[in-house]
Amino acid sequence: METATAFDRFRDGYEERDWDDGADGTVRIALVGLGWFARDEALPAIADCDYADVTATISGSAEKARTVADEAGADTALTYERFHDGEGSDAYDAVYVATPNARHLEYVETAAELGKDVICEKPMEATVERAEAMVDACEAAGVTLMVAYRMQADPVMRRVRELVADGFVGDVAQAGGTFAFPMFANEDADPDQWRLDPDLAGGGSLYDIGVYPLNTLRFVLDADPTSVQGSLTSPDERFDGPVIDEHAAFLLEFDGGVQALCRSSYGSHGESSLRIDGNEGAITVENAFSPRGERTVVLERDGRRSRHEGLGSNELTEQFDYFAYCRLTGRTPTADGEHGLVDMQALDGIQTAAAGGRRVDLD
Amino acid sequence: METATAFDRFRDGYEERDWDDGADGTVRIALVGLGWFARDEALPAIADCDYADVTATISGSAEKARTVADEAGADTALTYERFHDGEGSDAYDAVYVATPNARHLEYVETAAELGKDVICEKPMEATVERAEAMVDACEAAGVTLMVAYRMQADPVMRRVRELVADGFVGDVAQAGGTFAFPMFANEDADPDQWRLDPDLAGGGSLYDIGVYPLNTLRFVLDADPTSVQGSLTSPDERFDGPVIDEHAAFLLEFDGGVQALCRSSYGSHGESSLRIDGNEGAITVENAFSPRGERTVVLERDGRRSRHEGLGSNELTEQFDYFAYCRLTGRTPTADGEHGLVDMQALDGIQTAAAGGRRVDLD
């Protein structure tokens, strides 16, 4: 590809939705699980959507459901129990599941039984088996299941993927990604949160944030890992290692031979980055995985280097609009259940590899 | 430590030699092996030394030895044969061995027999066994053996090590390093060079340049790896994989629990970097391993970030002066033979791990 053209792409029009050729209507979404991410990130993001609207809120607490429904301007507020009983299900077309990982399946199953399409937070579930059951439930009911990999809707990552496909870096050889932050540097961090409970989370930093470099590399490289190796450690006793890893480092081999080095951490200095190296160039994304953009992209090729700062938009708005657009136009979202299962197998494989000291080959 | 002080350290006086409290005299060095690195990098670096001087040159070709001796202003030029016979050995006090990896041992053995101290290029040899024989030969003869890890003499890396020891990043959790360049992007690159011959090199990019992040992390963290995992690939047929890896990716676990992700490549985009992450801060070195400095150091801590460009000096001059200083003052160099053996075991372990798909524990 023309190097100059590629360099220009991060200045001009990269935010245009390459997937959106218009749709009629609005998808009414029920939020299931009202933790900080659903409330502080997803809710305002959906408020800005063209094709999606929050019309119901569902929580363990009737009071919390009501409070958030009022914030969202939604008429329907339900407890989990009433949701499972199918009450008020005329008020929404689809559900967004943002409960603790090990409680995704039960809400997806109910949604499927009610004939509602589903967008489910990552990682899909706490175990491969439960994630498979989720896929089966949605298939049996004929509803759509999309996994909420927000980076796949991020305009910066979509443009990076396009550059890689167009050969900007030549043949991709090596890649890597990091998502790390020191959880307890925030004094409000709760040591009893579900993310630190092996039964509810399924894994530690690896499952919660290591899945970002894993899945985003799959997306950007348009390839799946064929094997994994890894190391999981938890020097800080607040992390219930080895299941709840404080630090994860893992090495992926991808279909086509690309090697990728990734890490996640709840205990090391804040860092969020992605890098793709080929025989002709490199692409680096800084601040790669934080919500609401502000990414920096560095392009290198032919002895030239260009740095593009302050890129991106609210990729959650993009994600929910993409999900709704797919429903309105009868399309299957790219990040469907089968796609999500590959990550679950890789995450589980990294745990097995780290524990046993052996490379795990993926199917 | 005081954050402000640490930030200042990369502006003020970091180039001062922390090891040099003065020495009398000059060590006369014989260059053994006159490839481009010895000739274009080592020779001019030694010309700038306070304590070292090149007084002899030794090559397979008498003509080449003579030409380089003239360039260096050295009186003595020898063939390998005459060197092995001990001819002209009054003209030098120590030897610098820069032959192909698998030919280090024979010249070190002769130097030891002649009672000469040795500085030997990295990696020490092509196999662990031959590196062990080298250590044994020097010990038996009572001569000093130093491995030429030039980054350990680099004033930037020495200051980074000091910052880490002083707790600038807090408890180190994760680290990483990369040394990569596309060998055949240089049209003059010789596909028949010894670096691509399994018998002469012992390994590919891993042995030649992967040893930089490996050894420099050991130096900066003041810790040794306890286990290795890895992946070695050679999609380009000019690399005689798996021994001569084009691309290497490896995961180290260090004494004390630090995880490190490293890569080397002869086929991906140019990159040379080191990163140390702790629970309180991070240090990044860009252009970390190129000869003659021009490094950038980025310090992050307490929400502050400072970037220091254009740092460093000729670390080869520093290295040869340090070697000579140790000889003149009766000190043992830090990077001695036993130190070098740890890298040889790690490199060999990475090859074994990559081939067998299992983690290799190091002694």
Is the CB of A231 less than 8 angstroms away from the CB of B249?
no
What is the least distance, in Å, from the CA of A270 to any CA of chain B?
8
Tens-place pLDDT, residues B259-316: 999 999 999 999 999 999 999 999 999 999 999 989 999 999 999 999 999 999 999 9
Asked if the structure places residue B21 within a domain, the reply is no
- What's the CA gap between A360 and A252, in Å, rounded? 10
B1 domain residue, yes or no: no
Across the interface, which of B233, B260, B282 has its CB nearest the CB of A269? B282
pLDDT for res B266: 97
DSSP state of A331: P
- Whether B261 contacts chain A with CB within 8 A: yes
Q: How much of chain A, in percent, has pLDDT values that exceed 70?
A: 99
Q: Which two tokens stand for residue A59?
A: 């929580």
Side-chain-facing half-sphere of A202: CA atoms under 13 Å: 27
Would you call B171 an interface residue with chain A, using a CB distance cutoff of 8 Å?
yes
* A206 interfaces chain B, CB cutoff of 8 Å: no
Cβ-Cβ contacts under 8 Å, A239 against chain B = none
Q: Report ipTM (2 d.p.).
A: 0.95
Q: Is residue B326 part of a domain?
A: no
Average pLDDT for A186-195: 92
Instruction: Give the pLDDT band (50/70/90) at residue A64.
Output: very high
Residue B257 touches partner A, C-beta closer than 8 Å: yes
Nearest to B231 among A185, A249, A253 (CB): A253
Residue A186 touches partner B, C-beta closer than 8 Å:
no
Residue B177, in any domain of the structure: yes
Tell me the count of A-B CB pairs closer than 8 A. Answer: 128
* Cβ neighbours for A237, distance < 8 A, ≥ 6 positions apart: none
Contact of A350 with chain B, judged by CB distance below 8 Å, is answered with no
Q: Give per-residue pLDDT as tens, B315-333.
A: 999 999 999 999 999 999 9
Amino acid at A257: G
Segment B245-268 shows an average pLDDT of 96
My answer on whether B193 and B141 are in the same domain is no
| Predicted confidence (pLDDT) per residue in A308-329, tens digit | 999 999 999 999 999 999 999 9
Mean pLDDT across A329-337: 97
Report the residue of chain A nearest B303, measured CA to CA: A270
Domain that holds residue B307: 152-313+335-361
Contact check, Cβ <8 Å, A185/B261? no
Residue A36 amino acid letter: W
Domain assignment present for residue A319? The answer is no
Closest in B282, B300, B358 to A357, CB measured: B358
**pLDDT at A10 (0 to 100):** 78
Count the alpha carbons within 13 Å of A290 in the hemisphere toward its beta carbon. 17
Q: What is the pLDDT of residues B205-232, one digit of tens each?
A: 999 999 999 999 999 999 999 999 999 9
Looking at the predicted structure, is the pLDDT value of residue B20 above 90? yes
At A15, the pLDDT band (50, 70, 90 cuts) reads confident
Asked whether the beta carbons of residue B251 and residue A230 sit closer than 8 angstroms, the reply is yes
| Co-location of B111 and B183 in the same domain | no
Same domain, A304 and A266: yes
Residues A238 and A132 occupy one common structural domain:
no
Beta strands in A141-267 (DSSP E): 145-147, 172-180, 225-233, 247-254, 259-265
Please list every residue in chain A whose beta carbon sits closer than 8 Å to the beta carbon of residue B174.
180, 247, 249, 263, 265, 268
B85-95 pLDDT, tens digit each: 999 999 999 99
B247 in the same domain as B175: yes
Does residue B226 sit in the same domain as residue B144? Answer: no
Place of tokens 């991070």: B282
Residue B253 near chain A (CB below 8 Å): yes
Q: What's the confidence (pLDDT) of residue B2?
A: 62
Q: Are residues B130 and B181 in the same domain?
A: no
Q: How confident is the model at residue B363 (pLDDT cuts 50, 70, 90)?
A: confident
Contact B259 A231 (CB under 8 A): yes
CB B317 within 8 A of CB B45: yes
- If asked whether residues A136 and A156 sit together in one domain, one would say no
For the segment A175-191, the average pLDDT, to the nearest whole number, is 94
CATH of the domain at A31: 3.40.50.720
Q: Hey, which residues does A31 pair with through a beta bridge? A: A57, A96
Amino acid identity of residue A346, one-letter, is A
Count of domains in chain A? 2
Q: What angle do CA A166, A170, A176 make, to 5 degrees?
A: 95
Return the pLDDT at A12. 79
Q: Among residues B135, B150, B165, which one ends one of the domains?
A: B150
Average pLDDT for A264-273? 97
Rounded alpha-carbon distances, angstroms, from residue B107 to B32, B60, B96: 8, 12, 9
Chain B residue numbers touching A267 (CB-CB < 8 A): 173, 279
Please report residues of A whose CB lies closer than 8 A to that of B185.
Answer: 279
Is A282 within 8 Å of B269 when comparing Cβ atoms? Answer: yes
Q: How confident is the model at residue A293 (pLDDT cuts 50, 70, 90)?
A: confident
Give the closest-approach CA distance of B29 to chain A in angstroms. 38
Residue B303 and residue B175 in one domain: yes
Give domain status of residue A93, yes or no.
yes
Q: Which residues of A88-123 are buried (b: 16+ CB within 10 A; e: fewer)?
A: bbeebbbbbbbbbbbbbbbbbbbbbebebbbbbbbb
Our CA-based measurement puts residue B172 at a distance from the nearest CA of chain A, in whole angstroms, of 8
Q: What would the pLDDT profile of A98-118 be if each residue is shown by its tens digit?
A: 999 999 999 999 999 999 999
Same domain, A195 and A223: yes
- Is the predicted pLDDT of residue A193 greater than 80, yes or no? yes
Structure confidence at residue B7 (pLDDT): 79
Both tokens of B329, joined, read 């003052």
Mean pLDDT, chain A, rounded, equals 96
How close, in Å, is residue B177 to chain A by CA atoms? 11
Contacts of A231 in chain B (CB under 8 A): 229, 251, 253, 259
Determine whether the interchain pair B251/A250 forms a contact, defined as Cβ–Cβ distance below 8 Å: yes
- Determine which of A246, A258, A279 to mutate to test the interface with B (most B C-beta atoms within 10 Å): A279
What CATH number did the domain enclosing A272 receive?
3.30.360.10
Per-residue pLDDT at B1: 55
A125, A334 contact by CB (below 8 A):
no
- Is residue A124 in a domain? yes
Please choose, from the candidates B253, B246, B296, B298, the residue with its C-alpha nearest in 3D space to the C-alpha of residue B276.
B298
Instruction: Using the 3D structure, point to which of B150, B176, B209 is the last residue of a domain.
Output: B150
Quick check: B90 contacting A, CB < 8 Å? no
Q: Are residues B163 and B55 in the same domain?
A: no
The pLDDT tens digits of the residues spanning B187-201 come to 999 999 999 999 999
Please write down the HEC assignment for all residues of chain B: CCHHHHHHCCCCCCCCCCCCCCCCCCEEEEEECCCHHHHHHHHHHHHCCCCEEEEEEEECCHHHHHHHHHHHCCCEEEEHHHHHCCCCHHHCCEEEECCCHHHHHHHHHHHHHCCCEEEECCCCCCCHHHHHHHHHHHHHHCCCEEECCHHHHCHHHHHHHHHHHCCCCCCEEEEEEEEECCHHHCCCCCCCCHHHCHHHHCCCHHHHHHHHHHHHHHHHHCCCEEEEEEEEECCCCCCCCCCCCCEEEEEEEECCCCEEEEEEECCCCCEEEEEEEECCEEEEEECCCCCCCCEEEEEEECCEEEEEEEECCCHHHHHHHHHHHHHHHCCCCCCEHHHHHHHHHHHHHHHHHHHHCECEECC
Q: Flag whether pLDDT at A1 surpasses 60.
A: no
Q: What is the pLDDT of residue A3?
A: 65
Looking at chain A, the whole-number percentage of residues with pLDDT higher than 90 is: 92
Distance from CA of A267 to the nearest CA of B (A): 5
Predicted confidence at residue A262, as pLDDT, reads 98
Q: Is A210 on the interface with B (CB under 8 A)?
A: no
Mean of all residue pLDDT scores within chain B: 96
Contact A259 B233 (CB under 8 A): yes
**Kind of pairing, strands A247-254 and A172-180?**
unpaired
Chosen from A268, A287, A307 to mutate, greatest number of chain B CBs within 10 A: A268
| DSSP one-letter string for A273-299 | EEEEEESSEEEEEES-SSTT--EEEEE
Judge whether A3 lies within some domain: no
Asked if A247 lies within 8 A of B173 by C-beta distance, the reply is yes
CA distance B186 to chain A (A): 12
A253: contact with B, CB 8 A cutoff: yes
For residue B284, the one-letter residue type is T
Out of A108, A128, A150, a domain closes at A150
Contact of B359 with A358, CB cutoff 8 Å: yes
Q: Is A330 on the interface with B (CB under 8 A)?
A: no
Cross-chain residue pair B277–A261, CB shorter than 8 Å: no
Whether residues B58 and B187 share a domain: the answer is no
DSSP 8-state code for residue A355: H
What number is the average pLDDT over the span B13-27?
93
- Chain A neighbors of B231, CB-CB under 8 A: 229, 251, 253, 259
In this predicted structure, what is the pLDDT of residue B270? 95
pLDDT band at A363 (very low <50, low <70, confident <90, very high): confident
Torsion angle, alpha carbons of B34, B40, B43, B46, to 10: -140
State which residue of chain A sits closest to B183, comparing Cα positions.
A279
Is the pLDDT at B11 greater than 90? The verdict is no
**Residue B346 to residue B283: CA distance in whole angstroms:** 24
